[in-house]
Amino acid sequence: MKKKIVYEYMEKNELNIELVMQDFINYIYIIIKNASNNLTAEDIEEITSDVFLTVWNNRQKLDIEKALSPYIAGITKNLIKKKYRSSKTFENIEDYEGKLIGIEGIDLYSEEDEQNEVIIKELKKLKEEDKKIFMMFYYEYKKIKEISNILDISESKVKMKLHRIRKKLRQNLKGGI
């Protein structure tokens, strides 16, 4: 498929969403299938619909001089992440007991209950702000910038706190506390 710029999808100064859907439905499906094998057909359909809805809702923000495919790819990937986040969001630390599967980016997951207990015990010891940072980053999959804005602290402070929490958890897991 030739990369078409947004302007080529315009009709009477309005985005022709039907043409966009026709040209990009297979492209979106391929992105979703490459990103995940464990989404249901309903999930795939929901993400695909949401991609087109997002494009439509943001049509005024599109740069008519740029290709539409990277924009659609970005929306699709973000919606896939959002789908995973929504199934892994919890409210309290107690809700995580036995549910530590899915933490990404750190070596905390263990199939052994003893290690899960160590993690939960250490998380309960954290200051409230540290707990919030940890939960937002690893369970709600918020970005450092988002956490910084929500808690009204600097991005470097968020990064440092995450580093210290991970370091402490790793030490305690290795030490078998």
- Highest CATH level, class, for 6-86: mainly alpha
CA quadruple 99, 101, 104, 108: dihedral positive or negative? positive
| Integer Cα distance of 60 and 89 in angstroms | 32
Q: What pLDDT digit, counting tens, does each position of 19-48 carry?
A: 888 888 888 888 888 777 677 888 889 999
Angle in degrees, CA 124, 129, 131, rounded to 5? 35
Is residue 104 helix, strand or coil?
coil
Note the CATH architecture for domain 93-175: Orthogonal Bundle (1.10)
Give the pLDDT band of residue 62 (cuts 50, 70, 90): confident
Q: What is the pLDDT of residue 20?
A: 87
Q: Supply the pTM of this predicted model.
A: 0.48
Where are the chain's structural domains? Answer: 6-86, 93-175
Q: Which helix (H) or strand (E) holds 15?
A: strand 14-15
Angle in degrees, CA 133, 139, 144, rounded to 5? 45
For the chain, give the longest Cα–Cα distance. 68
